[in-house]
Structure 1
């Protein structure tokens, strides 16, 4: 089963079967993002066999929640008043649909309270979690009165079962937001639901909750700005610390308002954590987390004189699993929307760096100016934030056994002094001076002929998906390549959501798109075009640009992701050492015409046509920007113009 994430934009889920799901809605020295003029428009995408669109419910909107069920080969989708079960391989094939609206009485009460300015008085599905082999646990906003119940999905795909169990209806308070515009995050672990959510009608009380199950219901300290200060929850993930299960911790990623001085940034991005076996304190913090800690996540571009350009607003998080379940790689998307500059960045974090910060000094305010300092006093035992019954506290079976000084310290010191910096202390991808921002990220590991690569799928707030690969160059230098940008919906939607199995699933307010990760035919019908694309999913098989397979015979495939050099891979190409370019030679007969292709097949390729006559050494450029006033299809002499796909040169 994949993991569930909710966002104001898109959603990505990468499952264990190599599938990807995507869901979503200036400082000097920052380089603008690569050109996206080669983006695939929605109309062109629809004409291919690489994408399928689902918007069957004409009266429904907000297809926000995606959950992939690998055992049943189904994709579960939450929208306004509906829960959908779609075929993973063909999302339009016999969809199973549950209609679950709020009661008319509740809708009327919601409207009377003034909460229906933009149609919020509906039942927006905001939580879908696997309960067991046969059931899902689902929650909706219930017209500002959250409700939850179970959905029977059958034991196997062939059962073709999908129905609600209304007799098990229960309150969704502490599990699902009242307001459909406010996102929540959740994780169902051992039949206990952990959620980052706003729990009141007015949207003022935010908490990390534990409900259901056998353990005590727990929450963060109420209305304590040191713990949470108007947070926006982004993601949650269980990441074990060791082989000892009692050390397991649940991590929350969120952004919140700064409670510090006015000159500090208005928003901080955070990573917080709790122990799963936290029972709260005995005298203090009763029924409240006694292991909650948080640290700042920094994504910034280093500048001269130590000045950093910060991207402070965390948008999305993707957890890339590795062979070591204790040490996944964390990809995070950030945005900067201040008055100085606007931009986006992707930063990568290691669990080793995160644990080092949580094992470091606590933040403490003292002195005449009441400034943040590392706590230098005596540390109580066990160390605050340590899980009971774990590696370092085998004799303490519950947090209720912790001394009062530990609990009191936790209540007043939830913040770590040091921040978590990304790997190499700089972003992996940066965009500035562009008219969009990233909203979501998903990462797929791809085996190519010259190594393993990680391909990033980045959702934007204009409804497109950018396919990006970052290659190593020298030492810490990297090279970013935009492989493709796809417009996945007919109309621009704010931030799509996603999921993946050699397919990309993208959801937004208008519907769901099922997109193949390998779209090799867009790179043209020539070996050089395929090679220049540098797409690890694709290779030249001798006849066409097709999906790369590591098991195929080496002599029948041509691929060069690292360098994209068709000289080594394809026939008929020459090297121009002076200009560091690759040239294809096209010969013509006097009096005949030749078609000049003007649209490159990938962002890595450029096209320039040079005319050489009568065995002369001189070459004259034809076409390009100098002849844009020409009409498409016109016989051109002696220059050509590039309009549409190309033009004829006589």
Structure 2
């Protein structure tokens, strides 16, 4: 009876460990690229960033614009590696209306590249207000106002904007508008509209922190909407309530405020709804919105990829469709309302028109009931949940495939300064690889994806790094290695893994069954003999090339054992070398039915005329990718020991 119980507990323990290993694999990057495996270019900033806010803006091939504190950098990565580009300082040196002997502290708060020009829209904020102008990207250029910006400049000048706030800039037939959020300011907190018509927010009830702003373009101007994503501090709940509540707000971009006696110069179409990222069945959810990335189809905003945390530091990525968001605003009941809802529906863009009496009723209603009862639920639950990695930023690239649709790649930064490349597929998120652009643990301030170049630009407080995202040659020398990578950038072209002339590719499943028979050279050193002193301890080492693979050591006499893993290799300890341990040792890796030999060799006891190898030497070196990470198979090794001890 006791033996049966011990066996049952042992089996349960082994199954638990196996499940733990599978979960760990799913949440881990398949490969890890160090700075030696990835093509990197670095440009140091001449000034250390003080306020931890950097804004990166794409500026054509190999170029990026950087707004940092009081400086505007134009960085050209096509120049010699490591070139430092001088910052473009502000055109003004003293504050207007301030002391004549005091330098002006102008922080760049807004930066947008202007369409079809070598100019940027730049806004600088000082203690007295904000100035916006067009700026050429050359050190000697002047920052001067223009006719197209005069309305923005005149309506924004009295406001003190905050750094790090999201903004949207629209250009249309001389009617330029700038939309900016304010999360913490002496002015009203919320969304602002600057231009020919100024609109400001009403005072919010809680403390919102805005994380993203995006415009949706309809078939006519009355359908154009602006969506703001933010989190509010939860002040109404108890001790077990979430600290934050995630929201999306909607305003009509044609909204010009109400009449003199109701919401004049304030939003009349503002509505908000709670976001839900999680699993309704298990009641697991993520309440702290961290960052958002926007996906456009045919030039129109279609989906929002949102990064969340929960109170235990677990990260999750959820996808929200604009159709689902719009439907909640069109059909949900209004929170706290017990009266008949006016028609046209308050908050809808159609309500901006109509008789004065009806307009006042709708404005009073939307002012008193801006929140929806219904929540906006994510599509199919979380795309990715990670218990082991705390993500801080999210960016995306929609990669055209061989069909008519696209593959979505997400780039998630970690607190440690690393970046994960994640593929969206039907079963969830697949972590393709990890990039390490910084040598030491570094806090990433911002990053952008240059879609055409397939390069990632990442900033810390002291430098900007260009990361080449096409590392097809690092995945391995065989067709199977290339297809198992599941990288939309890469495919097999009959001779090697490449980013052009793709013939074989299976991004969705990594199916390698159509790969041709391997006829190339061996990718390991075979039958290498190592002499080991009698009774000495010796480690056999096998390089890790995929964290999603299972590594096994094959010993003399057809015995096998799982690897004891380290950072880039799995070790096999030979404890007390003797004649009975002589023979061929082989390390294999199995992944989705594909088994390959990584190293193989022979161990002999050191005798006269032979030379012992150092205890740190391995059997051979894999000739493919040197990238890799540890695999948690050691848990299964420990489980096997536990089984033997429990059943003895």
TM-score after normalising by structure 2: 0.72
CA deviation after TM superposition for structure 1 residue 385, in Å = 1.0
The reply to whether residue 34 of structure 1 matches residue 11 of structure 2 is no
Question: Which residue, 372, 377, 398 being the options, matches 1:444?
Answer: 398
CA deviation after TM superposition for structure 1 residue 265, in Å = 2.6
The reply to whether residue 252 of structure 1 matches residue 228 of structure 2 is yes
| Contact 2:246-2:289 within 8 A present in 1 as well | yes
Cα distance change, pair 177–597 in 1 and its aligned pair in 2 (3 A): farther
| Contact 1:612-1:619 within 8 A present in 2 as well | yes
The reply to whether residue 183 of structure 1 matches residue 165 of structure 2 is yes
Counterpart for residue 90 of structure 2: 100
Question: Which residue, 313, 316, 325 being the options, matches 2:291?
Answer: 316
CA deviation after TM superposition for structure 1 residue 347, in Å = 0.6
Counterpart for residue 202 of structure 2: 221
Aligned to 2:543, what secondary structure does the other structure show? coil
The reply to whether residue 481 of structure 1 matches residue 426 of structure 2 is no
| Contact 2:273-2:375 within 8 A present in 1 as well | yes
Counterpart for residue 506 of structure 2: 560
Counterpart for residue 377 of structure 1: 339
Counterpart for residue 300 of structure 1: 278
Question: Which residue, 92, 108, 113 being the options, matches 1:125?
Answer: 108
Counterpart for residue 409 of structure 1: 365
Cα distance change, pair 517–236 in 1 and its aligned pair in 2 (3 A): same
Cα RMSD over matched residues?
A: 4.1
| Contact 1:255-1:267 within 8 A present in 2 as well | yes
CA deviation after TM superposition for structure 1 residue 53, in Å = 1.4
What is the correspondence of 1:571-590 to structure 2 with a 5 Å cutoff?
A: 571-572=517-518, 588-589=526-527
Question: Which residue, 458, 464, 468 being the options, matches 1:512?
Answer: 464
Question: Which residue, 73, 83, 86 being the options, matches 2:75?
Answer: 86
- Larger mean Cα displacement after TM superposition, 413-422 or 445-454: 445-454
Counterpart for residue 577 of structure 1: none
| Contact 1:64-1:126 within 8 A present in 2 as well | no
Cα distance change, pair 148–528 in 1 and its aligned pair in 2 (3 A): same
Cα distance change, pair 221–544 in 1 and its aligned pair in 2 (3 A): same
Aligned to 1:193, what secondary structure does the other structure show? strand
Counterpart for residue 625 of structure 2: none
Aligned to 1:468, what secondary structure does the other structure show? strand
- Report Cα offsets for 1:173-229 as digits up to 9, x if no partner: 676634x4x63434345412111114745xx74121112x221x211113x41xxx2
The reply to whether residue 469 of structure 1 matches residue 423 of structure 2 is yes
| Contact 2:540-2:571 within 8 A present in 1 as well | no
Counterpart for residue 14 of structure 2: none
CA deviation after TM superposition for structure 1 residue 470, in Å = 3.3
Ranked by relative contact order (alpha carbons within 8 Å, sequence separation 6 or more), the top structure is 1
CA deviation after TM superposition for structure 1 residue 548, in Å = 4.0
Aligned to 2:327, what secondary structure does the other structure show? helix
Aligned mates of 1:130, 1:585 — CA distance in 2: 48
Cα distance change, pair 280–560 in 1 and its aligned pair in 2 (3 A): closer
- Report Cα offsets for 1:546-582 as digits up to 9, x if no partner: 21445xxx3xxx4333333444314249xxxxxxxxx
| Contact 2:30-2:432 within 8 A present in 1 as well | no
CA deviation after TM superposition for structure 1 residue 450, in Å = 12
Counterpart for residue 138 of structure 1: 122
- In structure 2, runs of 5+ residues without a counterpart are 1-19, 147-152, 532-538, 576-580, 588-598, 600-613, 622-648
CA deviation after TM superposition for structure 1 residue 39, in Å = 2.6
| Contact 1:127-1:186 within 8 A present in 2 as well | no
What is the correspondence of 1:610-629 to structure 2 with a 5 Å cutoff?
A: 610-611=554-555, 618-621=558-561, 624=564, 627=571
Aligned to 1:542, what secondary structure does the other structure show? coil
Counterpart for residue 193 of structure 1: 178
Cα distance change, pair 630–377 in 1 and its aligned pair in 2 (3 A): same
Aligned length: 536
Aligned mates of 1:532, 1:437 — CA distance in 2: 25
Aligned to 1:363, what secondary structure does the other structure show? coil
CA deviation after TM superposition for structure 1 residue 148, in Å = 2.8
Aligned mates of 1:77, 1:590 — CA distance in 2: 53
Cα distance change, pair 519–448 in 1 and its aligned pair in 2 (3 A): farther
Aligned mates of 1:559, 1:645 — CA distance in 2: 39
Counterpart for residue 355 of structure 1: 326
CA deviation after TM superposition for structure 1 residue 137, in Å = 1.9
CA deviation after TM superposition for structure 1 residue 66, in Å = 1.5
Counterpart for residue 44 of structure 1: 36
| Contact 1:318-1:441 within 8 A present in 2 as well | yes
Aligned mates of 1:441, 1:399 — CA distance in 2: 45
Question: Which residue, 157, 166, 190 being the options, matches 1:207?
Answer: 190
- Report Cα offsets for 1:2-50 as digits up to 9, x if no partner: xxxxxxxxxxxxxxxxxxxxxxxxxx9x956623584333x435xx4x2
- In structure 1, runs of 5+ residues without a counterpart are 1-27, 113-120, 155-159, 366-374, 473-477, 574-583
Counterpart for residue 600 of structure 1: 544
Counterpart for residue 251 of structure 2: 274
| Contact 1:63-1:511 within 8 A present in 2 as well | no
Query: Which structure has the larger Rg?
Result: 2
- Report Cα offsets for 1:129-161 as digits up to 9, x if no partner: 24564432212444x55533324327xxxxx67
Cα distance change, pair 585–640 in 1 and its aligned pair in 2 (3 A): closer
